[in-house]
């Protein structure tokens, strides 16, 4: 197979367009056949933008990284270059096109021999290889004009610094595997060096005297990781602490989207809430997002919105989020975010609102519509009270409404609530007072949808689910339209809502759709769907609907699941961006089990209750992983600090 065109596309799209402009480096990348340096069976992925596994648990580096490191080393014709971590020999081959002589050290004898044979077969005569401790360099051939290290150590090895010529450059990754930084060290004097930070990277460990310790050979050899888990580990971008600005910066790549959907694998895990908050803050402050739309009831979220946008609270308004499951939004993580949003909106030229997409709080919605009409149009308010009368007995327990409408006495209720919704919307230009009308109109829509939802829920099936998610999508589009053509929204909801339903059992077996699917169909490339997952830990949940909140242990993920693959990657916290690693994305299209924990968690029947088949890289555009997570902390009176105003929305 001829890979010439694929190689040219790789150089143009993956390297030149990402900022590598050195023409000699680009020419070298076009010349060296990467397909000749990878393991059998991976040739079709040779020119994808990702590292690939080779023997001995090592990798062939991502093409962009090879090019970027070579460019950073500023190699001139005739230079003597040392490479540490030869691996397959690919990087040494690229360096050989730039330098006069390349000396490459590899600690695995089998890789050294294979690379030597491969380079000889391809005619690269100016490369010498040696098996040894790369952290010590190759003192017999020193000094070097440039040294490139393709493995990450705990610090810059002194031996390598000592083997640089004056003016020479050492390019080396430094740090723990989940937090490596690429450093460029330039020798400026006999004992003086200048250092630059070139950004975050991910490399295999540098093992040796000035690197990480080798594995204790007296201990049992662990089972060889699955290739797919290895690929996940290599593609994973480590996540820093939530309060580290670099956490939010990782998501600048999605800042140009119109809609960014942020999922969660459970409704009761703190890390998911904190991650969404950190990402959302960045999208608001740096990319102009002005809508935060959450999987919460509109009337409850409206109380939060009034608080964060410094609007007047509605008279007689109930404390929000009193319905089961209270911990889903009345928790310390959400409270911390809303306080931040309130402070942000004090000075923001375009304040960011907080809105609910869901349909459950029919009672609150009716109260909001009537309160609005009492102020704007008392006669219309009286008519609305009559129309909503058929729902009055069921406002507190709407789930039993479905049985009631089987009797003739309640069959006209749908007509009445729809008539009221239309009547309010027809008054838009007469009533329209911005936010207040939007709130009332959306509550009227909610009542109409909720009436139908509770009616059809009695029969079960996909229709009630589809109605609910369609309503959430419609609410989102109403919000975007109300804010204008440039409005951008962040959505917080469960993975089962924000992952494309067509790529799960929901769509393939149960004919269910969701907001993620509808957003993709409407906004296409202007949307990003980001899921989240975990292996184990604790979760806030209930055993039954309307049950007491419990803190339960999350069972370790099952073999054969995406979660187990992520766990087996060995990386504790990371981002997978499927657009950046097409080879991995293709592998993750294969349907596997994925875990979904809602407000109910039953570990004893976990496989049947909480796992479903999905195609991860089709379901989401990106995926966040937290190997161990902790339960959210429900908000209580003890969390109200001094000076918190009486208008504080959670009423604690």
DSSP line for 554-609: EPPPPTTBHHHHHHHTT-SEEEEEGGG-HHHHHHTTS-EEEE---SB--GGGHHHH
| Domain parsing of the chain, residue ranges | 4-224, 226-289+488-591+617-631
Residues 73 and 81: their CA atoms lie apart, in Å, by 9
The answer on pLDDT for 433 being more than 80 is no
Q: Which among 393, 398, 264 has a CA at the least distance from the CA of 334? A: 264
Are 134 and 159 in contact by the 8 Å Cβ rule? The answer is no
Q: 97 is written with which tokens?
A: 């096109």
What residue ranges in 288-386 does DSSP mark as E strands? Answer: 291-297, 353-358
List the Cα angle 617/621/626 in 5-degree steps: 80
Phi and psi torsions of 595, nearest 5°: -95, 135
The answer on pLDDT for 293 being more than 60 is yes
The answer on pLDDT for 232 being more than 50 is yes
The answer on pLDDT for 177 being more than 70 is no
Indicate if 226-289+488-591+617-631 has the same CATH topology as 4-224: no
Query: Which residue(s) pair with 153 in the sheet?
Result: 174
18 burial level (CB within 10 Å; 0-12, 13-18, 19+): exposed
List the Cα angle 562/566/569 in 5-degree steps: 140
Residues 322 and 545: their CA atoms lie apart, in Å, by 14
List the Cα angle 424/426/430 in 5-degree steps: 90
Element housing 49 (H / E): none
Comparing 364 with 245, which gets the higher pLDDT? Answer: 245
The answer on pLDDT for 382 being more than 90 is no
CB neighbours of residue 367 within 10 Å: 19
Residues 268 and 324: their CA atoms lie apart, in Å, by 13
Q: Which among 34, 173, 47, 164 has a CA at the least distance from the CA of 91? A: 34
Q: Mean pLDDT over all residues of the chain?
A: 84
Comparing 525 with 437, which gets the higher pLDDT? Answer: 525
Residues 144 and 128: their CA atoms lie apart, in Å, by 14
Residues 147 and 161: their CA atoms lie apart, in Å, by 9
Q: What percent of the chain has pLDDT over 70?
A: 79
Rounded mean pLDDT of 77-88?
Answer: 94
User: Could you report the per-residue pLDDT of 482-514, keeping only the tens digit for each?
Assistant: 888 899 999 999 999 999 999 988 887 677 899
Are 72 and 184 in contact by the 8 Å Cβ rule? The answer is yes
Residues 626 and 618: their CA atoms lie apart, in Å, by 20
Rounded mean pLDDT of 60-71?
Answer: 90
Residues 385 and 249: their CA atoms lie apart, in Å, by 50
Architecture of domain 4-224: 3-Layer(aba) Sandwich (3.40)
Which residue has 């020999």 as its token pair?
Answer: 89
Query: Which residue(s) pair with 612 in the sheet?
Result: 594
Are 111 and 134 in contact by the 8 Å Cβ rule? The answer is no
Confidence class for position 238, pLDDT limits 50, 70, 90: very high
The answer on pLDDT for 2 being more than 50 is yes
Are 362 and 384 in contact by the 8 Å Cβ rule? The answer is no
Q: What percent of the chain has pLDDT over 90?
A: 55
How big is the chain, counted in residues?
A: 652
The answer on pLDDT for 334 being more than 90 is yes
The answer on pLDDT for 295 being more than 80 is yes
Which of 166-175, 207-216, 341-350, 555-564 is predicted least confidently? 207-216
Structure confidence at residue 41 (pLDDT): 66
Q: Half-sphere exposure of 49 toward its Cβ, with a 13 Å CA cutoff? A: 18
Quick one: the chain helix, strand, coil %, rounded to 5? 45, 20, 35
Structure confidence at residue 424 (pLDDT): 59
CB neighbours of residue 436 within 10 Å: 17
DSSP summary character for residue 525: G
Q: Which among 98, 100, 90 has a CA at the least distance from the CA of 73? A: 98
Confidence class for position 636, pLDDT limits 50, 70, 90: confident
User: Could you report the per-residue pLDDT of 257-288, keeping only the tens digit for each?
Assistant: 999 999 999 999 999 999 999 999 999 999 99
Residues 334 and 303: their CA atoms lie apart, in Å, by 14
The answer on pLDDT for 558 being more than 80 is yes
Structure confidence at residue 598 (pLDDT): 92
What residue ranges in 456-519 does DSSP mark as E strands? Answer: 489-492
Structure confidence at residue 179 (pLDDT): 67
Confidence class for position 221, pLDDT limits 50, 70, 90: very low
- For the chain, what is the largest distance between any 2 Cα atoms, rounded to a whole number of angstroms? 96
Are 552 and 602 in contact by the 8 Å Cβ rule? The answer is no
The answer on pLDDT for 220 being more than 60 is no
Confidence class for position 414, pLDDT limits 50, 70, 90: low
Residues 288 and 199: their CA atoms lie apart, in Å, by 25
Q: Is the pTM of this model over 0.75?
A: no
State whether residue 251 is helix, strand or coil.
coil
Q: Which among 463, 473, 442, 454 has a CA at the least distance from the CA of 414? A: 454
Comparing 109 with 360, which gets the higher pLDDT? Answer: 109
Element housing 235 (H / E): helix 227-235
Please compute Rg for the chain using Cα positions: 29
Q: What CATH superfamily is the domain 226-289+488-591+617-631?
A: EreA-like (biosynthetic domain) (3.40.1660.10)
Q: 279 is written with which tokens?
A: 């990402």
Structure confidence at residue 408 (pLDDT): 44
Is residue 329 left, alpha or beta, with left meaning phi > 0 and alpha meaning psi from -120 to 50?
Answer: alpha
Residues 428 and 177: their CA atoms lie apart, in Å, by 57
Structure confidence at residue 400 (pLDDT): 43
DSSP summary character for residue 651: -
Structure confidence at residue 346 (pLDDT): 94
CB neighbours of residue 189 within 10 Å: 9
Instruction: Report the Cα 475 to chain-centroid distance in Å.
Output: 23
The answer on pLDDT for 362 being more than 70 is no
DSSP summary character for residue 11: I
Structure confidence at residue 182 (pLDDT): 92
Structure confidence at residue 405 (pLDDT): 46
Structure confidence at residue 505 (pLDDT): 84
Structure confidence at residue 423 (pLDDT): 65
Structure confidence at residue 204 (pLDDT): 81
Confidence class for position 404, pLDDT limits 50, 70, 90: very low
Phi and psi torsions of 69, nearest 5°: -70, -40
Query: Which residue(s) pair with 539 in the sheet?
Result: 552
Residues 74 and 546: their CA atoms lie apart, in Å, by 65
The answer on pLDDT for 47 being more than 90 is no
Which residues belong to the active site? 61
């Amino acid at each position: 197979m001829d890979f010439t065109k694929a190689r040219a596309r790789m150089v143009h799209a993956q390297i030149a367009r990402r900022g590598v402009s050195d023409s000699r480096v680009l020419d070298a990348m076009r010349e060296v056949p990467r397909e000749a340096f990878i393991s059998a069976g991976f040739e079709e992925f040779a020119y994808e933008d990702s590292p690939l596994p080779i023997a001995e648990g090592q990798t062939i580096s991502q093409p962009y990284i090879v090019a970027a490191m070579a460019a950073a080393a500023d190699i001139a014709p005739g230079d003597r270059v040392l490479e540490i971590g030869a691996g397959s020999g690919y990087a040494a081959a690229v360096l050989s096109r730039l330098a006069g002589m390349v000396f490459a050290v590899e600690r695995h004898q089998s890789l050294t021999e294979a690379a030597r044979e491969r380079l000889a077969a391809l005619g690269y005569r100016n490369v010498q290889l040696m098996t040894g401790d790369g952290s010590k360099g190759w003192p017999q051939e020193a000094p070097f004009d440039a040294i490139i290290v393709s493995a990450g150590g705990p610090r810059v090895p002194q031996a390598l610094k000592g083997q640089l010529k004056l003016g020479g450059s050492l390019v080396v990754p430094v740090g723990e595997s989940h937090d490596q930084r690429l450093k460029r060290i330039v020798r400026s004097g006999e004992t003086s060096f200048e250092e630059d930070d070139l950004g975050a990277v991910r490399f295999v460990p540098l093992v040796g005297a000035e690197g990480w310790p080798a594995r204790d050979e007296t201990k049992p050899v662990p089972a060889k990781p699955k290739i797919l888990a290895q690929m996940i580990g290599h593609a994973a971008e480590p996540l820093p602490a939530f309060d580290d600005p670099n956490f939010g910066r990782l998501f600048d790549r999605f800042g140009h989207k119109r809609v960014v959907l942020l999922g969660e694998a459970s409704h009761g895990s703190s890390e998911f809430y904190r991650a969404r908050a950190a990402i959302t803050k960045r999208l608001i402050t740096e990319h102009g997002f002005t809508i935060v739309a959450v999987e919460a009831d509109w009337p409850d979220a409206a109380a939060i919105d009034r608080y964060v946008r410094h609007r007047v609270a509605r008279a007689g308004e109930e404390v929000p989020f009193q319905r089961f499951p209270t911990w889903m939004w009345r928790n310390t993580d959400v409270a911390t975010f809303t306080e931040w949003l309130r402070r942000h909106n004090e000075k923001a030229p375009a304040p960011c609102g907080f809105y609910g997409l869901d349909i459950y709080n029919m009672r609150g919605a009716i109260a909001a519509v009537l309160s609005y009409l009492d102020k704007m149009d008392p006669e219309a308010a009286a008519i609305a009270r009559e129309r909503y009368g058929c729902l009055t007995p069921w406002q507190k327990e709407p789930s039993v409404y479905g049985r009631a409408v089987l009797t003739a006495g309640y069959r006209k209720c749908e007509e009445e609530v729809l008539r009221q919704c239309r009547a309010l919307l027809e008054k838009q230009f007469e009533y329209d007072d911005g936010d207040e009308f939007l709130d009332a109109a959306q509550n009227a829509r909610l009542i109409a949808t909720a009436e139908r939802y509770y009616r059809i829920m009695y029969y079960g099936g996909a229709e009630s689910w589809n109605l609910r998610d369609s309503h959430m999508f419609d609410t989102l589009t109403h919000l975007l339209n109300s804010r204008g053509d440039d409005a951008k929204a962040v959505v917080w909801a469960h993975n089962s809502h924000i992952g494309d339903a067509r790529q799960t059992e929901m769509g393939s077996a149960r004919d269910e759709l969701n907001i993620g699917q509808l957003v993709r169909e409407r906004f296409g490339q202007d949307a990003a769907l980001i899921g989240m997952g975990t292996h184990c830990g604790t979760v806030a949940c209930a055993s039954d609907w309307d049950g007491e909140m419990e803190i339960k242990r999350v069972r370790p993920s099952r073999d054969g699941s995406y979660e187990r693959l992520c766990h087996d990657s060995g990386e504790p916290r990371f981002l997978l961006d499927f657009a950046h690693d097409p080879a991995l994305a293709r592998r993750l299209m294969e349907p596997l089990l994925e875990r979904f924990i809602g407000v109910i968690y039953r570990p004893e029947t976990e496989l049947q209750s909480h796992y479903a088949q999905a195609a991860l890289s089709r379901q989401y555009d990106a995926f966040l992983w937290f190997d161990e997570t902790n339960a959210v902390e429900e908000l209580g009176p003890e969390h109200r600090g001094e000076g918190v105003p009486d208008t504080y929305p959670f009423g604690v």
